[in-house]
Amino acid sequence: MRNRSPALSLSSHGVGWPANRRIAIVALVVTVLLTIAAAVAWLSGSSNAHRDPTAAAPAAAHSPTSSEAPGPRPKAGSGSVPKPPQISEPVAYAQAAARMLWSYDTRDTSRDQQLAGMRAWMTAETKYADWASVSGQVPDPVLWSRMADQDQRATAHVTEGHYPGAFKQALAEDPSAITEAYIYVVTVNGTQQIAWKKGGAGAEERAVTLAVQCRPGRDCTLAAIAPSVTQ
């Protein structure tokens, strides 16, 4: 049985990537590694609505504006959000990031703590960091409060991660293109298991396409979440 609860997952109703971030990523990464048409389609999507287990209709998720990127770092700590791993391989880091994005626990983590924990995974290079695409995965304060009232939490199991076909093809055609920003496009698939009060539980398949920055000699970081999944 598929669960209909709100989740920190990709959505498809939110705003697209902010114009300045889109220009930088398209100009320095996507335009080179993918075709112009694919890039426009990839960047023009939006994120999925979050749902509450007690609500019949979808509730609107928070849609941050470009002014929130990179945004102030909350001071409340990171609650149950795991710290970013020290990984220098793009697919492995993307898998860890997806697991983080699909996991949360409103019983011991506030919304600000969730954002703080997610923020720690981001690249410090603001030219490439699309914080709005990441913070937009977190439900708005009212919905988070409703989730907390239900003791809602989620865990994630990642089944696989891979470079999308278009990315691999473009990289094969021009291997040196990646050296400008060292941003890799990775799609991750998995399952999110959600639970709440009175034994409520469910599971859903998840998929996300991430932009991961992995410069030589450094740990990888998260640059952005694509508004649509690219296989």
pLDDT tens, residue by residue, 76-99: 467 899 999 999 999 999 999 999
Distance between CA atoms of residues 213 and 110, nearest Å: 28
C-beta separation of 79 from 113 below 8 A: yes
Supply the mean pLDDT for the chain: 76
pTM over 0.85: no
> Are the beta carbons of 61 and 143 closer than 8 angstroms?
yes
End-to-end CA distance of the chain: 25
Distance CA 209, CA 227 (A): 8
By CB atoms closer than 10 A (0-12, 13-18, 19+), residue 42 is: buried
pLDDT digits (tens, 9 = 90+) for 191-223: 999 999 999 999 999 999 999 999 999 999 999
Rounded CA separation 93/13 (Å): 27
In a 3-state reduction of DSSP, which class is residue 134? helix
- Cβ density class 133-170: b for 16+ within 10 Å, e for less: bbbbbbbeeebbebbbebebbbebebeebebbebbeeb
Three-state DSSP at 205 gives: strand
Range in 6-15, 98-107, 146-155 with the lowest mean pLDDT: 6-15
Per-residue tokens: 224: 């952005």
Length of the chain: 231
DSSP code per residue over 179-200: GTT-EEEEEEEEEEEEEEGGGE
Confidence of residue 5 (pLDDT cuts 50, 70, 90): very low
Say what percent of the chain tops pLDDT 90. 58
Range with the poorest average pLDDT among 2-11, 23-32, 55-64, 91-100: 55-64
Omega before 227 within 30 of 0, i.e. cis: no
Q: Map residue 156 onto helix, strand or coil.
A: strand
- Residue 59, pLDDT score: 28
Say if CB 59 and CB 50 are below 8 A apart: yes
Contact 213, 182 (CB under 8 A): yes
